[in-house]
Amino acid sequence: MTERNVVHATFHIERAYPVPPKRVFAAWATPEAKARWFDGPEGFECYERSMDFRAGGAERLWGKHPGGKVSDFQARYFEVIPDARIIYAYDMWQNGVKLSVSLATIEFHAAGAGTRLLMTEQGAFLDGYDDAGSREEGTRWLLEKLGAVLT
Amino acid sequence: MSAHLDSLFQALADPTRRAIVERLSRGPASVSDLARPFDMSLPAVVQHLGVLEAAGVVASEKVGRVRTCRIEPAALSLAEQWIHERRTSWERRLDRLGAYLAAEPDLPEETP
């Protein structure tokens, strides 16, 4: 029996890039450019990649990881403001199980000649997980990162 | 379960409590052992331990006059997986975005 539960979490990631927002935004705006960096890990075998970059449009990245895990990212764009902001909702599947439903907000801010990118994820993480992660690794990671992750 | 994980993350949002968990991840310890490295009273440490225990991060048992605490691993690895994977996946992609932007300095600008 699946134990039903949901955990809500928000986290932020910030990056600075030495090119203007127009260039950074462009890397999100076409399937060709996005495929150059938005990908699975090394050895990822892609089953399907599609992208319709506009409010209401859908995106999918579905494939098999080198370890055999099959992941499926399915998104829908809610806001696309050129060079400024992208908002999309997505669910993430792993081996046919829905892991999470999230809202992702990407903000592009001019900072001098470059860009400050702010990414915020607000997620509902679903129904527990295979509890195979190592205790030591989990503990260490939490201690190092958790203070920064929580807002 | 959701309330449980909420309390877990609230418990670990405090640096003193993270330091206590870090100490316990190296092995069980008595309450007074745990209090020693911190510049705080025993009751204050006991209060922190109470929060960690309520969140399921730490378990303790009293043998004679000594209360021994140990880490409760299940709560930690449950929460580890989801944030860890999602966040590192984002970080890896945004780093790749930076590498991509650096490698393509002369991309023609799109005309509006």
What domains appear along chain B, each with residue ranges and CATH number? 2-72 (1.10.10.10)
- More reliable by pLDDT, B53 or A6: B53
DSSP bridge partners of B61: B68
Does pLDDT of B35 surpass 70?
yes
B21 chain-A contacts, CB cut-off 8 A: 139, 142-143
Measured CA to CA, the distance from residue B83 to residue A28 in angstroms comes to 23
What's the total number of domains in chain A? 1
Provide the whole-model pTM. Answer: 0.62
Measured CA to CA, the distance from residue A115 to residue A136 in angstroms comes to 37
Helical spans, DSSP H, in chain A: 21-29, 31-35, 135-149
ipTM over 0.85: no
Query: Chain B residues with CB-CB distance to A under 8 A?
Result: 1-2, 5-6, 9, 12-13, 15, 18, 21-22, 25, 71, 73-74, 76-84, 86-87, 90-102, 104-105, 107, 109-110, 112
CA B59 from chain centre, in angstroms, equals 16
A131 touching B, CB under 8 A? yes
Measured CA to CA, the distance from residue A139 to residue B46 in angstroms comes to 21
The closest alpha carbon to A88, from A107, A70, A72, A71, belongs to A107
How far apart, in Å, do the first and last CA atoms of chain A sit? Answer: 33
- More reliable by pLDDT, A93 or A78: A78
Confidence category of residue A130, pLDDT binned at 50, 70, 90: very low
Residue A1 lies in a domain: no
Of A33, A131, A150, the CB nearest to B9: A150
DSSP-derived pairing of the beta strands A58-64 and B58-63: unpaired
Residue of A nearest to B81 (CA): A133
Using an 8 Å Cβ cutoff, are B101 and A19 in contact?
Answer: yes
Domain range for A63 = 6-149
Does pLDDT of A111 surpass 90?
yes
Q: Give mean pLDDT, residues A72-100.
A: 93
Q: Which single residue is written with the structure tokens 């991509």?
A: B100
How many Å lie between the alpha carbon of B63 and the closest alpha carbon of chain A? 26
How many Å lie between the alpha carbon of A114 and the closest alpha carbon of chain B? 11
Does pLDDT of B84 surpass 80?
no
Does pLDDT of A109 surpass 70?
yes
A143 touching B, CB under 8 A? yes
A128 chain-B contacts, CB cut-off 8 A: 1, 78
Query: Which of A68-77, B3-12, B44-53 is predicted least confidently?
Result: B3-12
Residue A33 lies in a domain: yes
Does pLDDT of B99 surpass 60?
yes
A129 touching B, CB under 8 A? yes
Query: Which of A12-26, B12-26, B48-62 is predicted least confidently?
Result: B12-26
